[in-house]
Structure 1
Amino acid sequence: MTLILVTSVHDELYVLADTEFGQAGKTGSQVGPKVFLIPIQAIDLDGANTRTFPSMGFAFAGNVLSGQFTHSLASTCLQNLVGGTTKEDVQVGDVAAVYAKAAEQIVLERWRHAKLSGYGFEGVIFGRSSGGLTGAFRLDVGIDDGEAHALVEEMDFSKTKMHPIGSGASSARARIDSLVKAGIPLRPVEIMDYVIDDPEVLSVSGTVQLAVTTKNGVELRPIIRHRSDRAGEFLLLGVNILSLGMVGSYIPIGTPISVDAPFEHVSDFEVHG
């Protein structure tokens, strides 16, 4: 499975996940994508106007094929919207509803061909709605005796700024509670590292991947580590993206998040419990 950590920091949402993909206790890959962008585009009925909305985000924990197939179906739908006008906004809740319906279709189709358990997954859809407010909706997908269900619930950050999801959630909550009791600020990447290193949570491993909401839409960000054997590398899914070379005349480093820096140069984001 995995750990997803959804964190509210200064009116933005940071969504982190580990990169482990595996089955039956065996690692298949430690460069597994679990956090994705959702492009959204609409045209009007006569095709005269096209509107591109700020991108939103999707992350999942659980069955890999179900999660990735759901994203492919739903995100393709959201890039092919048609309406009488393109002036109407798309809300985060609208996108979550599309993902829920797509998820039900996917798990039902898989169950139809092989009536097995384990097709379900947990997910989160996040981004900015009209008015600039950030929001996130949790998705719980499963199938029982041929009846698919995808429950959608809006996440509340008014009392809890950090929500863990997935098989590593209990370990993350224990770490969060201990830090809050000690009066120590919560640093999401440190909590991810803690669970990745927890020998009791074998399903969470690899490294950290991260997305953040911005006024221009959700962005996937590289991470720069400082206190590890990967210090100074621009990591994306655990891969140093500089190793991919130039893209024309551009370097693919974007706007990285700098974490676990020396104290006097800390630029990691913090949440105060």
Structure 2
Amino acid sequence: MTIVAIQKQIFSGLSEDDFPVLKIVADSRLSNGKGEGFLTDIAPKIFSIEMRSVNAAGHITHFAPYGFAFAGSTLAAALTHSTAQFLLNSLFSNENYLPPSVEDVSAVYLDVAKKHIEQLSAPFSAMIYGYDVGSNVFRAYALNSATKPSFELRKTEIDLDAAFFRIGSGSEYFDTIFAEMGGGDVDCSSVIEQMIRRKVHRSVGGFIQMAIVDRSGFHHVPVIESIDDSALSAVKFMGADVDTIFRPRGFKFGTMAMTLGVKALDNERLIHTNQ
């Protein structure tokens, strides 16, 4: 069981104008698939989709990344993502200098996923999302498995004007807690935080992982957590304090970090990290 949610939000406070983003949030627990326990509490479920194209002159164009998130078979999802990444980093065109559309990229993932799921007999659901330069809007697509009357993997566009969209076997718990918290514009990260805190099911847990998509592309976002409910805070990714991980010389981890449940940002709650 797992839960992954996507929500379109309007952020403000870092510039004069409000700006839209997509926020993607998930738990980090990887269950054993038998409902009897879990394998790890630090499993990534949200990934960037990197794309590049080369032309006949050898000029390489790197496009702003989209995002991929999954729930279900980790092996099938990981193989799908790695295969699709190989293809999308091997694009060739003498004509097109715009990135592939979000819909076209989701179609690549759909065809690749079908092959891996059929080989492994291990279904998963996924979301592919990003800022579509060609249409100048955010778009997102869901891949959902159906097993009756026969196996089928379907691609559908996600309504980003809805309150949220979620995948994973923890979806019913998400819906219940979302309603308990008042519905409407409740932040999806607050809902998943409550799911983890309440231990709604032994296969939902671990830590919050989060990403945002703005017009510049996909960004993983470490989470700012208080330390023992004090004024001190730590910047964490998958539950690990990033200050405890070796940093390449001359670099820092993360361009920004975010506290949970934040929709209107300011310099205290969306910060350029100094980790």
Shift of 1:86: 3.1
Shift of 1:144: 6.9
Would the aligned equivalents of 1:57 and 1:126 in 2 still touch at CA under 8 Å? yes
Match of 1:75 in 2: 85
CA deviation profile, 1:175-200 (whole Å, cap 9, x unmatched): 2223336xx75122220111123344
Q: Secondary structure at the match of 2:71?
A: strand
Q: CA RMSD in A?
A: 2.5
Aligned pairs, number: 254
Q: Distance in 1 between matches of 2:244 and 2:261?
A: 22
CA deviation profile, 1:104-155 (whole Å, cap 9, x unmatched): 01012224xxxxxxx111110011112431111111136679x653211111
Q: Secondary structure at the match of 2:217?
A: coil
Q: Distance in 1 between matches of 2:189 and 2:227?
A: 12
**Structure 2: 5+ residue runs without aligned partners?**
11-19, 271-275
Would the aligned equivalents of 2:30 and 2:41 in 1 still touch at CA under 8 Å? yes
Match of 1:38 in 2: 49
Match of 1:135 in 2: 139
Does the C-alpha gap of structure 1 residues 251 and 199 become closer, same or farther in structure 2, counting only changes over 3 Å?
A: closer
Letter in 2 for 1:247: P
Would the aligned equivalents of 1:224 and 1:257 in 2 still touch at CA under 8 Å? yes
Q: Note if 1:55 corresponds to 2:65.
A: yes
TM-score (norm 1): 0.84
Shift of 1:267: 3.5
| Pairing 1:149-164 to 2, within 5 Å after superposition | 149-158=152-161, 160-164=162-166
Would the aligned equivalents of 2:199 and 2:205 in 1 still touch at CA under 8 Å? no
CA deviation profile, 1:59-92 (whole Å, cap 9, x unmatched): 0001110111111111111111112323243111
**Structure 1: 5+ residue runs without aligned partners?**
112-118, 269-273
Shift of 1:93: 0.6
Does the C-alpha gap of structure 1 residues 40 and 174 become closer, same or farther in structure 2, counting only changes over 3 Å?
A: same
Q: Distance in 1 between matches of 2:88 and 2:259?
A: 32
Q: Distance in 2 between matches of 1:187 and 1:29?
A: 26
Q: Distance in 2 between matches of 1:194 and 1:186?
A: 12
Would the aligned equivalents of 2:163 and 2:185 in 1 still touch at CA under 8 Å? no
Q: Note if 1:17 corresponds to 2:41.
A: no
Match of 1:7 in 2: 7
Shift of 1:254: 2.4
Q: Which shows bigger deviation, 241-250 or 29-38?
A: 241-250
| Pairing 1:91-170 to 2, within 5 Å after superposition | 91-111=101-121, 119-130=122-133, 131-141=135-145, 149-158=152-161, 160-170=162-172
Match of 2:221 in 1: 221
Q: Secondary structure at the match of 2:198?
A: coil
Does the C-alpha gap of structure 1 residues 69 and 16 become closer, same or farther in structure 2, counting only changes over 3 Å?
A: same
Q: Note if 1:180 corresponds to 2:189.
A: no
Counting aligned pairs with the same residue, the percent is 20
Match of 2:197 in 1: 197
Following superposition, which runs of at least 4 residues in structure 1 exceed 4 angstroms of deviation?
142-145, 227-231
Q: Which shows bigger deviation, 245-254 or 4-13?
A: 245-254
